[in-house]
Chain A
Amino acid sequence: GAVVSQHPSWVICKSGTSVKIECRSLDFQATTMFWYRQFPKQSLMLMATSNEGSKATYEQGVEKDKFLINHASLTLSTLTVTSAHPEDSSFYICSATKANPSGGVRETQYFGPGTRLLVL
C-alpha cells in the first residue's frame, strides 16, 4: 500500500495566527513530499517540493517565509502557514513518493486527504 495522512483535516483560525499541517506517509518511506494548494473549482497548484533533510524548493511566487516547510524524517513533512490571513484560506494537500524508486518518471505521487483551512 501507499497511504498518506494529513492532520488536521480542517482548521478554522483567526487572522494573524499560525497553522501547522502535518503530512505523514504511513506505510512507506518518502524521500520527497510535495505541497499543493487548491482553490475552489481550480486545479492543484504546486507550492513546494520537500526533500528529507534539506531545504524545501519553492515554486515561483510562493513566499518561503510565509509557508514554512520542514521535512524532518522520511515519513513526516510539515507545512506552517505563518500569520495566516483570509486570502490563505484554501485546500492544502500533500503528496509523497516512495524512497528508492524503481527509477525514472514512473514514480507515482500518493496524495493525502487534504486540509481545509479557513482564516477568519
Chain B
Amino acid sequence: AQKITQTQPGMFVQEKEAVTLDCTYDTSDPSYGLFWYKQPSSGEMIFLIYQGSYDQQNATEGRYSLNFQKARKSANLVISASQLGDSAMYFCAMREDRGNNRLAFGKGNQVVVIP
C-alpha cells in the first residue's frame, strides 16, 4: 500500500502568491516524522521542513509552513510569497519509528512559478 500520496497535477503559481501542496500519508505507527524536500532541475534534494507526529504545533521554516492535520493524516506544505526560484519538484516523505530510519517518498508535485 502506498504510504505517501501526492496527487495534484503540475501547478502554475503567480510570483508572490502562496501555494499549497497536498500530502496524505498512511501509517499505523504512532511515532513518525514527515518531511518535505525540494528538487530543482539540477537534481539535488533540499530539505525544507519537518513535522513530528507528537509535535503540538505546525512546523514553520521561513516561507515554508506545514499544515499538519493528524486525524486526517495530511501534511500539506504551504509556500508563501512564491519566488521564481521555487520552481521545482516537491516531495513529501515519511519515516516511521519502526521503519529503521527509512524514508518513504510520494510521487512529487511539480510547481512552476511564473512572473
On A, residues with C-beta under 8 Å from B are 32, 34, 38, 42-44, 46, 49, 57, 91, 93, 95, 97, 104-114, 116
Contacts and interface: CB of A to CB of B under 8 A. Distances in A.
A114 B35 CA distance: 19
B43 A113 contact: yes
Contacts of A93: 43, 45
Contacts of A42: 107
Given A105-B97, A106-B33, A114 B44 contact: yes
19 contacts: A43-B105, A43-B106, A44-B45, A44-B91, A46-B104, A91-B43, A93-B43, A93-B45, A95-B45, A104-B31, A104-B33, A105-B95, A105-B96, A106-B33, A107-B95, A108-B47, A109-B47, A111-B47, A113-B43
Question: Which one of B45, B103, B106 has the greatest number of beta carbons of chain A within 10 Å?
Answer: B45
Contacts, number: 64
- By size class, the interface of chain B is 20 to 34
B103 A46 contact: yes
Interface in B31-49: 31-33, 35, 37, 42-47
B101 interface: yes
A38 B107 CA distance: 11
Given A42-B107, A116-B43, A34 B33 contact: no
B107 A106 contact: no
A69 to B, nearest CB: 15
A64 to B, nearest CB: 17
Question: Which one of B50, B53, B100, B102 has the greatest number of beta carbons of chain A within 10 Å?
Answer: B102
A18 B93 CA distance: 31
A9 to B, nearest CB: 9
Q: Which 6 A-B pairs have the closest CB atoms?
A: A111-B45, A105-B33, A114-B43, A113-B44, A43-B105, A43-B107
